[in-house]
Amino acid sequence: MLLERSALVKGTLLEVQRTCGNPGCKCARGQKHSCSQLSASVEGKTRTWNVPRRYIAKVKELTGNYRRFRRARAVWVRLNAEMRERINEMEAVRAVADFRDECRRQKRCS
């Protein structure tokens, strides 16, 4: 998942019901227009883009790529943190504060 090359698009595809503002339109009598929008948080703000019908399938695929990538990334980041902790423990167990202690200890043993 992390090593794939496919493009990633952040966001969720939404089906939105809207009125167009024309008082003579059917939407003014309750039959709203339906359109697809991509919604995503960009630098802390929610942004939306209209998605033309012909792009819907592709956008679904691309946002799916992003979601799967993010899941895989979260697992990788967690494993990395665990590995780092184990490595720190290994170092702490073996680290010697004063080389002379270690030299004397080796002398006694040999």
Q: How far is the CB of 46 from Zn ion (least distance, A)?
A: 25
Closer residue to Zn ion (CB): 27 or 40: 27
Closer residue to Zn ion (CB): 16 or 25: 25
Q: How far is the CB of 2 from Zn ion (least distance, A)?
A: 45
CA gap 77, 31 in Å, rounded = 48
For binding to Zn ion (CB under 5 A), which residues are involved? 20, 25, 27
Q: Kindly write down the DSSP assignment for every residue of 25-72, as one continuous string.
A: SGGGGT--EEEEEEEEEETTEEEEEEE-GGGHHHHHHHHHHHHHHHHH
Q: How far is the CB of 5 from Zn ion (least distance, A)?
A: 42
CA gap 107, 104 in Å, rounded = 5
